[in-house]
Amino acid sequence: MPSLLDLTQQGDVATITDESKLGSVTLMDPQELYRLWERQQWQSGVIDFSQDRRDWEEMSEEQRQEMMYGLSAFFVGEERVATQFSGLVMAYDSQHEEAFLCTQQVDEARHAQHFNNLYEQVLQYDGTYEQRLDAARTDLNDAYRVLFDEHLVEVNQTLIENPRDLEAKVDYIVTYHMVIEGMLALTGQYFQTDYMEKNGILPGHLEGFRKIARDEHRHVAYGTWYLQQKCKDPGLARRAQDKLAETLPAAAGVLVPPGYTLGEDFTYMGYTSQEQNEFAYTALSRRLKVIGLGLPAVAA
């Protein structure tokens, strides 16, 4: 039986290409993921942004404006997932799971620090961390706010109020690990990284972004493992599918850049809406097959 690391080396299932193997993947458990976290440490504060600042100044205003949606989506998103995570930590089932979940909250805080440094040192946003976050929020659309300020906040608060609520934990992991991280974050990272590599720009941010993506693959691996265990219960499987159906419309809206509405064709940073949507839903579908679920009709 193939192991997850044998298939991807990133601790996630999104890159598996042989569909026949999806149902027999052995996923890394929380203790294995914790040990992987110890081996993959990095520091956001030591990244050199000097070339990034020069690159940013040399970009056209149009290019900078186009990039801002993606940068702001990640900056605000990392803050949201860092501060809306305590409920899941409180809901741990074992000491190994508790240890891993604590590492994820540390990761998310570090990711937010990376973007705060980027906004301060490269984009030259003055003021406090909070003021830079507020400025970034102005670049985001209503669907983003629904997903991060309503759905995510609600599932976190429900777990804080009752950490032993198993259905609430499934709701949280579907919302966070499957939709926000596994569908949106990894899609944004893939296309934004490719754009920076092709254009030879922002090497400091690119360095940090690659490390953030590696962390996110580890997080999504945990969520996939957890749901694979719990969704053997038909009732919890239905619960997971219902939460997907509830959150995917907002997630689809998050993928739409400023100036467009959901359903319109667009090109963003050189990539078509079809390319981005296919990447996002294909990656999500593969993870769901590992778990034993299918995409709900709203996304099919």
At 22-72, the pLDDT tens digits run 445 789 999 999 999 999 999 999 999 999 999 999 999 999 999 999 999
Strand partners, 3: 26
Backbone Cα Rg of the chain: 18
Other CB atoms within 10 Å distance of the CB of residue 245: 14
d(CA 261, CA 124): 30
Query: Which of 37, 148, 163, 38 lies closest to 92, judged by CA?
Result: 163
Give the CATH class of 31-37+48-291: mainly alpha
pLDDT per position as a tens digit, 229-252: 999 999 999 999 999 999 999 999
d(CA 225, CA 287): 10
d(CA 31, CA 219): 13
pLDDT per position as a tens digit, 178-227: 999 999 999 999 999 999 999 999 999 999 999 999 999 999 999 999 99
Tokens representing 153 are: 């906040």
pTM summary value: 0.91
Tokens representing 75 are: 């900056």
Query: C-alpha angle 68/174/135, rounded to 5°?
Result: 20
> Are 139 and 196 a contacting pair, CB within 8 Å?
no
